[in-house]
């Protein structure tokens, strides 16, 4: 058959488009469309086979797959888990439920002889092995056509958990095949209830009456008619729109081993071949048709976009080929003027505003630090320290050194708090200015800054100028006590010469009076000495904190000034790069105007012609899909 006689398809069209994309980049998306269509066509349709026990589900599945004993047929009631039958090299995989709160165990591979031990109620009572599903692979033309059969446990019967397994897996299927038979009875109330539940899932459902060879044809057709009446009432759909098949799995099994001259006749009598064709065409074909419809629409949009692109290229090439470069140069000049003005005006102004903002922030921060830490005239902080000094020195008893140490520590902590507050406020204000400048100049606000060492400055203030040591003047106190005792003894002795009892009392009184007076004078002197030593030390702490804070302010401003310089340089470099790119663009435009434009025009025209050819092919390929649809196909 010649190429002209070969029917065109969407897949072949997309393949040719993908090949053409090697020379025409506007057609490159066709490769993705081809991959999407191929993947959709390769997808499997899962058909759940559902029905009551002993209706011949497993025999029907084996007949459809054309593989004997693919699904256990000894007793439907014994099947306790779902079996997925798929095309592939023979193997059997067991999927287990995950433990509570855990992940599913690895898939197990078992031999065919072990299936009963996992899939039947006799071998795996109440599903003690925690089997979720069993995947059975076998080479089968029917399964290889994109069909997966899901064999579910029989509904009804003695084991209610089987129904739960069935309803767990049925929602994952694409369609449902409900099985009844030609022997026991027409559809029962329980079966009708099952069918109504299936309707709620919104799945396409077809109905198969098995064991057609076990009764005379008139009986089989009579049951079919009655079942269709029951289904029409249960589903609310006309009987002639329902997919209903009468089949014999036993005749199909005999056909597999029959001589060639009898095989076709047995298959036709079994009804299995008609059911296979319906399942492949109706279900697999519908999915492929949906995929083709979506890909055809995407292909049409692709061709329209590609046609517009090549026409724009042709127009551009034509304009350049005719020497119409004036508009390009005018655009270049305007963009260059805007960039130059920005460098000359906006950029410089931004630098000036930022630097002035840093100067103002440094001045305000330094003023705030000095005001908070000043000692003359004293600020609020230093006045509180003076009050604390007076409290400490008002009671210079034992433990004085510890209280002075606590006072010094408090002084340093208060000064360090000022340092942190001033540094933090300055950093936040400077960062706001820098962020604003970054957003204005670069259109972004993310900054990579080294974190300022505010904590280090605070630690330096806390370290202070060392410990202030106070020594208690014990010798002075002993001296004034001894002097008082000597004077008291002299007075007491003179008085005793005249009147002994009076002399003793007089001596004691003089001793008490002299001792108290001397002690008070000594204490006053000691307090004065302590104050003279302590106050300058505390003032020194304030001066150290002031110097450290001012240095921190200067360091922060220097850091942000450098960051600003880097930011402004980056912004200027970006604009200079844009100017360079703009110059390169103009150069390339002029070069294109000198040579190669005719080739560009010819290539664009050739691409446009090719796209038109593909568009015509697509219209022919999709024509049947856009024609008025006929009556809906009805199953036998």
For position 633, what pLDDT does the model report?
Answer: 33
Q: Which residue has the higher pLDDT, 496 or 437?
A: 437
For position 473, what pLDDT does the model report?
Answer: 44
Q: What confidence tens digit (pLDDT) does each residue in 111-158 have? A: 988 888 888 878 888 888 888 899 999 998 888 888 899 988 877 654
Out of 73-77, 96-100, 539-543, pick the least confident.
73-77
For position 403, what pLDDT does the model report?
Answer: 81
**Angle at the Cα of 40 from the Cα atoms of 37 and 46, rounded to 5 degrees:** 165
3-state secondary structure of 622: helix
* Distance (Å, whole) CA 601 – CA 608: 11
pLDDT band at 625 (very low <50, low <70, confident <90, very high): very low
Q: Are strands 131-138 and 204-210 parallel, antiparallel or unpaired?
A: unpaired
Mean per-residue pLDDT, 186-205: 90
**Angle at the Cα of 474 from the Cα atoms of 472 and 477, rounded to 5 degrees:** 120
Reference 437, options 351, 361, 501, 369; nearest CA is 351
pLDDT band at 538 (very low <50, low <70, confident <90, very high): confident
pLDDT band at 30 (very low <50, low <70, confident <90, very high): confident
Q: Which residue has the higher pLDDT, 461 or 417?
A: 417
For position 220, what pLDDT does the model report?
Answer: 92
For position 136, what pLDDT does the model report?
Answer: 93
* Distance (Å, whole) CA 559 – CA 544: 22
Q: With the C-alpha atoms ordered 53, 55, 57, 62, is the resulting torsion angle positive or negative?
A: positive
Residue 224 has pLDDT above 90, yes or no: yes
Residue 363 has pLDDT above 90, yes or no: yes
For position 501, what pLDDT does the model report?
Answer: 55
Residue 523 has pLDDT above 70, yes or no: no
DSSP string, 524-537: HHHHHHHHHHHHHH
Residue 251 has pLDDT above 50, yes or no: yes
What is the widest separation between alpha-carbon atoms in the chain?
Answer: 169
Mean per-residue pLDDT, 608-616: 86
For position 223, what pLDDT does the model report?
Answer: 93
Mean per-residue pLDDT, 87-107: 89
Residue 532 has pLDDT above 90, yes or no: no
Out of 123-127, 532-536, 593-597, pick the least confident.
593-597
What does residue 281 show for φ and ψ, rounded to 5 degrees? Answer: -75, -45
Residue 628 has pLDDT above 50, yes or no: no
Residue 513 has pLDDT above 70, yes or no: no
For position 470, what pLDDT does the model report?
Answer: 60
Residue 494 has pLDDT above 70, yes or no: no
Residue 491 belongs to what H/E stretch? helix 474-498
* Distance (Å, whole) CA 98 – CA 96: 6
What does residue 633 show for φ and ψ, rounded to 5 degrees? Answer: -65, 140
Percent of the chain with pLDDT over 90: 16
Q: What confidence tens digit (pLDDT) does each residue in 297-350 have? A: 888 898 898 888 888 877 777 766 666 677 777 888 888 888 788 878 888 888
| Structure tokens, 275 | 């059911």
pLDDT band at 634 (very low <50, low <70, confident <90, very high): very low
3-state secondary structure of 156: coil
pLDDT band at 286 (very low <50, low <70, confident <90, very high): low
For position 160, what pLDDT does the model report?
Answer: 64
For position 425, what pLDDT does the model report?
Answer: 92
For position 178, what pLDDT does the model report?
Answer: 95
Give Cα separations from 528 to 145, 399, 517 (angstroms): 109, 18, 17
Residue 225 has pLDDT above 90, yes or no: yes
* Distance (Å, whole) CA 582 – CA 605: 29
Percent of the chain with pLDDT over 70: 81
For position 400, what pLDDT does the model report?
Answer: 78
For position 260, what pLDDT does the model report?
Answer: 85
For position 479, what pLDDT does the model report?
Answer: 46
pLDDT band at 540 (very low <50, low <70, confident <90, very high): confident
Cis peptide before 377 (omega within 30 of 0): yes
For position 591, what pLDDT does the model report?
Answer: 75
For position 2, what pLDDT does the model report?
Answer: 45
Cβ neighbours, 10 Å, residue 492 = 20
Out of 287-291, 293-297, 363-367, 556-560, pick the least confident.
287-291
Q: In whole numbers, what is the pLDDT of the chain averaged over residues?
A: 80
Termini Cα distance of the chain: 35
Mean per-residue pLDDT, 267-286: 84
* Distance (Å, whole) CA 217 – CA 212: 8
């Amino acid at each position: 058959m010649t190429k002209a006689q070969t029917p065109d398809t969407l897949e072949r069209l997309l393949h040719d488009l993908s090949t053409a994309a090697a020379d025409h980049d506007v057609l490159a998306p066709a490769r993705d469309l081809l991959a999407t269509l191929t993947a959709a066509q390769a997808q499997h349709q899962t058909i759940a086979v559902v029905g009551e026990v002993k209706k011949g589900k497993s025999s029907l599945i084996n007949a459809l797959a054309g593989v004997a004993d693919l699904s256990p047929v000894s007793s439907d009631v014994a099947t306790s888990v779902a079996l997925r039958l798929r095309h592939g090299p023979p193997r059997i995989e067991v999927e287990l439920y995950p433990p509570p709160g855990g992940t599913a165990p690895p898939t197990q591979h078992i031999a065919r002889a072990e299936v009963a031990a996992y899939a039947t109620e006799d071998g795996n009572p109440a599903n003690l092995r925690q089997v979720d599903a069993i995947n059975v692979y076998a080479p089968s033309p029917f399964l290889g056509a994109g069909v997966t059969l899901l064999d579910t446990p029989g509904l009804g019967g003695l084991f209610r958990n089987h129904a739960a397994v069935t309803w767990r897996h049925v929602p994952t299927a694409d369609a449902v095949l409900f099985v009844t038979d030609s022997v026991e009875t027409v559809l029962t109330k329980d079966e009708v209830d099952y069918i109504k539940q299936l309707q709620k899932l919104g799945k396409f459902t077809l109905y198969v009456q098995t064991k057609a060879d076990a009764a005379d044809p008139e009986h089989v057709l009579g049951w079919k008619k009655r079942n269709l009446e029951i289904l029409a009432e249960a589903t609310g759909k006309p009987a002639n729109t329902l997919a209903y098949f009468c089949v014999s799995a036993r005749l199909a099994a005999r056909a597999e081993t029959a001589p060639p001259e009898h095989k076709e006749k047995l298959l036709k009598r079994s009804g299995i071949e008609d059911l296979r064709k319906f399942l492949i065409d109706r279900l697999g074909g519908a999915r492929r048709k949906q995929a083709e419809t979506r890909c055809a629409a995407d292909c049409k949009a692709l061709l329209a976009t590609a046609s517009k692109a090549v026409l724009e290229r042709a127009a551009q090439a034509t304009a350049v080929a005719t020497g119409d470069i004036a508009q390009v140069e005018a655009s270049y000049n305007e963009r260059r003027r805007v960039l130059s003005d920005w460098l000359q005006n906006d950029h410089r102004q931004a630098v000036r505003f930022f630097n002035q903002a840093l100067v103002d922030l440094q001045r305000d921060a330094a003023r705030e630090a000095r005001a908070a830490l000043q000692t003359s005239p004293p600020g609020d902080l230093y006045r509180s320290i003076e009050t604390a000094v007076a409290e400490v020195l008002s009671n210079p008893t034992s433990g004085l050194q510890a209280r002075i140490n606590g006072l010094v520590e408090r002084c340093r902590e208060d000064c360090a708090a000022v340092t942190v507050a001033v540094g933090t406020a300055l950093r936040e204000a400077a960062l706001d200015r820098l962020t604003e400048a970054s957003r204005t100049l670069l259109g972004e606000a993310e900054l990579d800054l080294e974190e300022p060492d505010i904590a280090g400055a605070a630690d330096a203030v806390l370290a202070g100028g060392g410990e202030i040591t106070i020594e208690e003047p014990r010798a002075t106190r002993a001296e004034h006590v001894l002097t008082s005792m000597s004077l008291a003894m002299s007075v007491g002795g003179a008085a005793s010469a005249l009147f002994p009892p009076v002399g003793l009392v007089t001596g004691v009184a003089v001793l008490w009076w002299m001792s108290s007076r001397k002690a008070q004078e000594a204490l006053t002197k000691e307090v004065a000495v302590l104050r003279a030593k302590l106050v300058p030390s505390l003032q020194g702490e304030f001066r150290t904190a002031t110097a450290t804070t001012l240095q921190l302010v200067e360091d922060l401003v220097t850091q942000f000034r450098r960051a600003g310089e880097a930011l402004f340089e980056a912004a200027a470099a970006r604009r200079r790069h844009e100017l360079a790119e703009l110059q390169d663009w103009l150069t390339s435009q002029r070069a294109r105007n000198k040579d190669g434009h005719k080739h560009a025009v010819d290539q664009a025209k050739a691409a446009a012609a090719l796209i038109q050819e593909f568009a015509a092919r697509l219209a022919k390929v999709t024509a049947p899909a856009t024609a008025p649809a006929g009556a809906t196909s009805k199953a036998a």
